Structure 1
């Protein structure tokens, strides 16, 4: 395909960040003290997600003004989003996590950096130094009982700045986080909420009695310790394995993606629909095959590879859930094939297998997954998880000082997780995608060769 992995010649390893002050932000108005129910999807996502949003300097909005507007908007947004200012609790009688909506507040920090935004270079590359731009969150079930949401505004010497946000995943999925950012931006501009959040998480409660009507090979069972430290099983799945990994970014332009789509169409029968040939499906199929074959040592053709990716289920319920549902409303779709099948299958067959994962996600299937978690917590698990931030649109949020130049999550190197990121708007890659891969050195060499070969 002629694509090459992208690695900057040099990166700044220290952004020379100095914290100026920290405070706690409380809701502007008094909120009702209550306990928020967390669905079975929320229950297994007790870990922190950090994102950073880079903004160019705006002469009409000096750093002090921006910090004040963000803090003021936070105070306002914590009224409709009262659970952000709460604390995670374990109900000892039910053995379930819930949010104590007690208006305890969110963390807010101002910081400065001695470098300019231009000196950082490629914002798409997952620079480990970006971790300096977001406050670290503690385990929310430990005695310090830290906030579920933390903001850090870091000003660069050029006047540009970064907004780092740390949130516990029980608060939002990517879609509801985007709505939250839209509302924060609207309130910062002294406008009404862009969309009214739907905080009724009981909409995703299990049925009574629970009915598991499908097999769920995409889920594994973990028993939660009796003391209620529900995050421990989650950490077992999401913490990186201790091994030496290389980390590279592979970029596919919109033209490259079109080539993959045409490659898929070649294998279609006359009566087959092209609806399955989407950008996500063809890129995922290509990555799945390359990743599986790269890890094959030549004697594992019968070994099964399980691919997982997230599907928004709001519109798949009957009746549909409101688009503004604030909790986690995504489930893991799966595709399974042996290494031999992945080597030999036509490209359109791979695309079809990927598409079948989302097609499987009906109202009944989604409710079966939720009910499956009622008796024991189940975690999605496979040898390859595609975590896609490609189409979430964080960089399209209209703040008073302008849209972000780039928005991305902070990345931990994990062998079984491949991340899809958008490119910077206006770049030469158009509506392309950045693919972040972490593998041992020999597997990375093999993956790169396969990835760059249009016949892989």
Structure 2
């Protein structure tokens, strides 16, 4: 078990920006409006990620950048919506994507450092935000791209690929397919690695909508105060960042503590631990406060008939678990794991269709104290570019204190946590206490 704070000496990577431009599909695409599902509608925020690559003498950074620029142009022919712009349909008050070939972003930069000088790439480094910019300074605010790719070269000949993607465009599984296709187009004369399914109407609400379940995982905003779809966001404040690493032996211990006769996933025990630490780190509301965990799950295999595995869009839902902080403090760990596991088990085809219909009527947003999003099965680290696989890939830290990203390490699991300082101190103390001998545990 390890807790990795930011590296204070490496938060300024001395990045120089050399090119910032729009790139367009290599061939003309048809102008159209892309329907967005109710789940797409509520995910209007950026997800920046970064991928680090070791130096490859056959593919120095300037040649890799040229290949990537052409690869973006090629892939946009197929993913035309990623070169489009969001627009509000005044008749339906729904967001759509105007597939108008307005362009994606392409940024070229360099750092004064070598990768080995930066050190452990798993560190939640504030400087990494300069490796995946979220806007183009030379583009008007009303024409900002929904997708930006940045290539940053390092003194050692290594490079980083930063991707900033509006979540409306892709969920995790869609992003995996997109990355595979982007990599394939960086080779010469390669077909797409994955044939995506772009029919987002597979996730449309029924007509008329007929929700059959209560959906406490969502709340209903005051639509009278909104001019368009509500935005899922959180207050911006000063945060601290930690990566909590769990080795295979720690995960094995967590599973033993779960004491289940049925198979328990590694994710379930990690999520249960994260939930416990988060619930007990927040003191407002006292022990009577109800803490609700939201666990992001893939709907593709849960719908009937199942969605194509290559469905491109947001085919996800949040499964919930709720308990008072008093209960969370006293419950056996196995009870918390059981509650976490019951959430996804609840999401059948009927439940998912009901949720989509509920969102059609209420224009709701996720309602919970903390959301956990797992990247464990996405395989971003397995994507092969002409210059090889990434040394490390993962999310870039952001202002989202309400989301914990879980991603793989070489032989274990990482949890990226972002919290205000007092909460982070209590979260870390709870995490350490959990693995400490009972005689050494302190009050949190």
Of 275, 278, 281 in structure 2, the residue corresponding to residue 291 of structure 1 is 278
Segments of 5+ residues of structure 2 without an aligned counterpart are: none
With 32-41 and 245-254 compared, the bigger mean Cα shift is at 245-254
Of 376, 381, 388 in structure 2, the residue corresponding to residue 390 of structure 1 is 376
- CA shift at 1:366, angstroms? 0.7
- Which position in structure 2 is the counterpart of 1:47? 45
- Which position in structure 2 is the counterpart of 1:59? 57
- CA shift at 1:114, angstroms? 1.1
Of 171, 182, 185 in structure 1, the residue corresponding to residue 183 of structure 2 is 185
- Which position in structure 1 is the counterpart of 2:301? 315
DSSP 3-state at the match of 2:95: strand
Q: Deviation string for 1:33-83 (max 9, x for gaps)?
A: 111100000111111111111111100101221111111111111111111
With 309-318 and 384-393 compared, the bigger mean Cα shift is at 384-393
Does residue 274 (structure 1) correspond to residue 269 (structure 2)? The answer is no
CA contact 1:186–1:399 (8 Å) conserved in 2 = yes
Report 1:301-380 matches (<5 A). 301-380=287-366
- CA shift at 1:8, angstroms? 5.5
CA contact 2:287–2:325 (8 Å) conserved in 1 = yes
DSSP 3-state at the match of 1:374: helix
- CA shift at 1:28, angstroms? 1.7
Q: Deviation string for 1:345-397 (max 9, x for gaps)?
A: 22211111000110011111111111111123111121121122233221110
- Which position in structure 2 is the counterpart of 1:434? 414
CA distance in 1, matches of 2:366, 2:257: 31
Does residue 238 (structure 1) correspond to residue 224 (structure 2)? The answer is no
Residue 143 to residue 160, structure 1, CA distance change in 2 (3 Å): closer
CA distance in 1, matches of 2:404, 2:65: 34
- CA shift at 1:151, angstroms? 1.1
Report 1:3-402 matches (<5 A). 3-7=1-5, 10-137=8-135, 144-190=142-188, 191-224=190-223, 228-230=227-229, 233-234=230-231, 237-242=232-237, 244-265=238-259, 268=260, 273-275=261-263, 277-296=264-283, 300-402=286-388
CA contact 2:220–2:362 (8 Å) conserved in 1 = yes
CA contact 1:223–1:377 (8 Å) conserved in 2 = no
Per the normalisation by structure 2, the TM-score is: 0.92
- CA shift at 1:442, angstroms? 4.0
CA distance in 1, matches of 2:203, 2:359: 12
CA distance in 2, matches of 1:441, 1:196: 45
Residue 416 to residue 73, structure 1, CA distance change in 2 (3 Å): closer
Residue 143 to residue 295, structure 1, CA distance change in 2 (3 Å): closer
Residue 362 to residue 73, structure 1, CA distance change in 2 (3 Å): same
With 28-37 and 396-405 compared, the bigger mean Cα shift is at 28-37
CA distance in 2, matches of 1:225, 1:393: 42
CA distance in 1, matches of 2:421, 2:76: 46
Residue 444 to residue 283, structure 1, CA distance change in 2 (3 Å): same
Of 445, 450, 453 in structure 1, the residue corresponding to residue 425 of structure 2 is 445
- CA shift at 1:193, angstroms? 0.9
With 26-35 and 441-450 compared, the bigger mean Cα shift is at 441-450
CA contact 1:218–1:334 (8 Å) conserved in 2 = yes
- CA shift at 1:413, angstroms? 4.2
- Which position in structure 2 is the counterpart of 1:422? 408
CA contact 1:8–1:122 (8 Å) conserved in 2 = no
CA distance in 2, matches of 1:209, 1:58: 57
CA distance in 2, matches of 1:376, 1:66: 47
With 244-253 and 85-94 compared, the bigger mean Cα shift is at 244-253
Residue 366 to residue 227, structure 1, CA distance change in 2 (3 Å): closer
DSSP 3-state at the match of 2:301: helix
- CA shift at 1:19, angstroms? 1.4
Residue 94 to residue 27, structure 1, CA distance change in 2 (3 Å): same
Segments of 5+ residues of structure 1 without an aligned counterpart are: none
Provide the aligned C-alpha RMSD in A.
2.1
Residue 443 to residue 87, structure 1, CA distance change in 2 (3 Å): closer
DSSP 3-state at the match of 1:65: helix
